[in-house]
Amino acid sequence: MITRSILELFLMFITWYDECKKYLVLTSFIFILPFHNIIAQEKPKLVVLPFSNVDQDKTIEYLGLSISDAITTDLQKKFVFELIDNIEIEQYSIDNFFYVKEYYTKTSSIKLGLELKQDIIISGFYKVKNEIITININIYSIKDKKVVTSFSKKGKINNSIFGTLAKIAEYTSQKVKTILPSKEDWEKKGFSFASNKVFFDKPSLIVYGGAMIYHGGFNEFFEPQLPSLGIGFQIRMPVLSKRFFSRVDIELFRHLLDPKAGVPLNRISETTDVQNIKLSFELFYQFWDVKRFTFLTGIGGASVIKSSTISGTSNANALYAVPGVTWKLTSQYTMTSKSTIVLEYSGLAEIERTIFNFNQGLHLGIMVSF
């Protein structure tokens, strides 16, 4: 009887859906249509690369970034586009052996654009002679793999250098009118100014091992056993900043009752073996990077699951969990775009029966990015 009733209800639903689906489709279309532009339209992605100093004159090296910054600032005032972080460009260039002095070449510009998934690349070079700077600018369409336009401008490099850069930036903005949407046109069409940034990217897996030291609270009575082993999963969070990361870790470590502790615990048992599983979540901030080295600091929370085995004069087993606070200082050395060596100092403050136990560790590991 129940089976028959269910079957009848199912058949009724199929019949109702068949009759109503055309109305459902029409209703959905009417509801979504006003929001279509906001949902569907993505901002073009653009990179202004540091300009190359072809004369290799160290006294004017600073102009490479000054030119690209002036162009970027002027473009941001007038047009709508997604701008990639310079840190990401620099890191990718280091990992894949791109050199600033070669950025202006068509091969390097288009290859960087393809690898970084950009739509438009602006690059170029400059040289100075008799206090006159000559700047060559190339604008590339990455989709078409070709130069949209190329031009050269000159100006004085004396006290009026910033005025010269402002004029060059304004001229560049005029040249990109045909390939970048202006803010006015974008707004008239009802498109959103919200960023295209995804919530997370750069997923990575970390495997590490190392040693720990104990102090404070109940930890005074125990000896850590080597090694401690862990595995972590890390993602970058560009929705906040390309310097923010979040990470989840599972770490295993073990300690024994210290026979030299000379505390009442020794009179309870001869041996206490505690297996620990630490589950933690941390937020990291990348505060410094130089060439292939990156430094981060992180803080978060943890839960430590403890399995205690007591043997000797009395035998017992206990399984319980204690909360904790974690902090880390991490240094990373990038070997390739996919693999990184990680050296990390970590701290853990467990809260057990209103008493704080402190652990500190030093770990070495490898991180693989996907």
For residue 337, tell me if it sits in a domain.
yes
pLDDT at 264 (0 to 100):
52
Answer yes or no: do 275 and 319 share one domain: yes
Answer yes or no: do 223 and 319 share one domain: yes
At 38, the pLDDT band (50, 70, 90 cuts) reads very low
Answer yes or no: do 339 and 221 share one domain: yes
Which of residues 166, 188, 210 is at a domain's end? 188
At 343, the pLDDT band (50, 70, 90 cuts) reads very high
Answer yes or no: do 214 and 155 share one domain: no
CB-side neighbour CA atoms (13 Å) of 91: 23
CATH of the domain at 111: 3.40.50.10610
For residue 132, tell me if it sits in a domain.
yes
pLDDT higher than 90, residue 318? no
Q: Find the domain containing 245 and state its range.
A: 201-369
Q: Residue-wise over 11-42: b if at least 16 C-beta within 10 A, else e?
A: eeeeeeeeeeeeeeeeeeeeeeeeeeeeeeee
For residue 60, tell me if it sits in a domain.
yes
- The predicted-structure confidence for 247-265, as pLDDT tens digits, reads as follows 999 999 998 877 666 555 4
- In the DSSP assignment, the letter for residue 151 is E
Answer yes or no: do 181 and 248 share one domain: no
pLDDT at 5 (0 to 100):
47
For residue 247, tell me if it sits in a domain.
yes
Answer yes or no: do 175 and 254 share one domain: no
Q: Are 336 and 363 in contact (CB under 8 A)?
A: no
Find the mean pLDDT for residues 130-152: 91
Which of residues 188, 209, 228 is at a domain's end? 188
At 16, the pLDDT band (50, 70, 90 cuts) reads very low
- The predicted-structure confidence for 74-122, as pLDDT tens digits, reads as follows 999 999 988 877 777 777 787 777 887 888 899 889 988 888 889 999 9
For residue 256, tell me if it sits in a domain.
yes
At 220, the pLDDT band (50, 70, 90 cuts) reads confident
Find the mean pLDDT for residues 34-57: 73
Answer yes or no: do 274 and 184 share one domain: no
For residue 209, tell me if it sits in a domain.
yes
Answer yes or no: do 135 and 231 share one domain: no
Answer yes or no: do 96 and 231 share one domain: no
Q: Are strands 355-369 and 339-352 parallel, antiparallel or unpaired?
A: antiparallel
pLDDT at 263 (0 to 100):
52
More confident residue, 173 or 162: 173
CATH of the domain at 321: 2.40.160.20
Distance from C-alpha of 95 to C-alpha of 91, rounded to nearest angstrom: 6
Answer yes or no: do 180 and 228 share one domain: no
Which of residues 154, 188, 222 is at a domain's end? 188
Distance from C-alpha of 301 to C-alpha of 256, rounded to nearest angstrom: 25
Distance from C-alpha of 210 to C-alpha of 208, rounded to nearest angstrom: 7
